[in-house]
Chains A and B, each alone.
Chain A
């Protein structure tokens, strides 16, 4: 009846069977004629990878700036709106005694006020 310790001791004493002495020569001889898979050399492509990384950073930053600009354009009211005039109202001269002043409540909402009505 073998105890756990005896079993481990027996296994620890075990030695693997020796590898064939000529296997080394066979492996090295065969390796000389093995075609390599030839992926890019990671060491020599290091600078190229760094350039690519910098390019990616610049591209992302540029894309961010362009996106922010487009977003800003969408959010900005049209500059050419009549409401953007400095005094925000325009006097339109009509027939004598019938002038009209255009007040802009906002950029797109004109209110026409006839001066004739005020007289």
Chain B
């Protein structure tokens, strides 16, 4: 599936059509944004099933907005913020019922849940070892093609913070890969 460029104007028209109850508008939104949202969710959860659940929950949330959907000014930003919020909720729900054995099992599990197809196993493991907010920035910037400004808006942080997280992530990965900073 090809990834469409971001275009708030086009997306607002689709949301207005969705608000007016026109069938097909949600499908078009899905075709435009699902891949990126899935990539974002994978970066956060590192789990394919969880990422798909988050994508589904986000589009159902949009569908439930009804007429309110037409009031969204920056649809792409809204969608990525929704993915992020859903991922945080999922993480919190899991944290409340996680026990030590599950933690140990997760820590020892191979990188089967790696979000990306990366040739180098070391790089994949280094990426998987990043804190979620740093991994998120790396994937959104290098894989999804977001600028730091777009990442900042989608994740609710300043542009400088997004760039800083990216820099820290690369430094951390290089340390993990055994290279000198």
Contacts and interface: CB of A to CB of B under 8 A. Distances in A.
Contacts of A36: 63-67
A7 B34 contact: no
Contacts, number: 117
Interface stretch (B53-61, B75-83, B99-107): B53-61
B39 A16 contact: yes
A24 B117 CA distance: 22
A14 B26 CA distance: 29
Contacts of B95: none
Interface stretch (B84-92, B118-126, B146-154, B156-164): B118-126
Interface in B115-146: 115-120, 123, 127, 138-139, 142-144
Sorting the interface of chain B by its residue count into under 10, 10 to 19, 20 to 34 or 35 or more gives 35 or more
A28 B30 CA distance: 9
Given A2-B174, A16-B42, A28-B26, A11 B118 contact: yes
What secondary structure prevails in chain B residues at the interface with A? helix
Contacts of B143: 11-12, 14-16
B52 A41 contact: no
Interface in A21-72: 23-24, 26-28, 30-31, 34-43
B10 to A, nearest CB: 18
A30 to B, nearest CB: 6
Contacts of A31: 26, 59-60, 63
A81 interface: no
Interface of A: 1-4, 7-8, 10-20, 23-24, 26-28, 30-31, 34-43
Interface of B: 1, 16, 19, 26-27, 30-31, 34-35, 38-39, 42, 48, 52, 55-56, 59-60, 63-68, 70-71, 115-120, 123, 127, 138-139, 142-144, 170, 173-174, 177-180
- Nearest 7 pairs of A and B residues by beta carbon: A36-B66, A31-B63, A14-B116, A41-B67, A16-B39, A19-B38, A11-B142
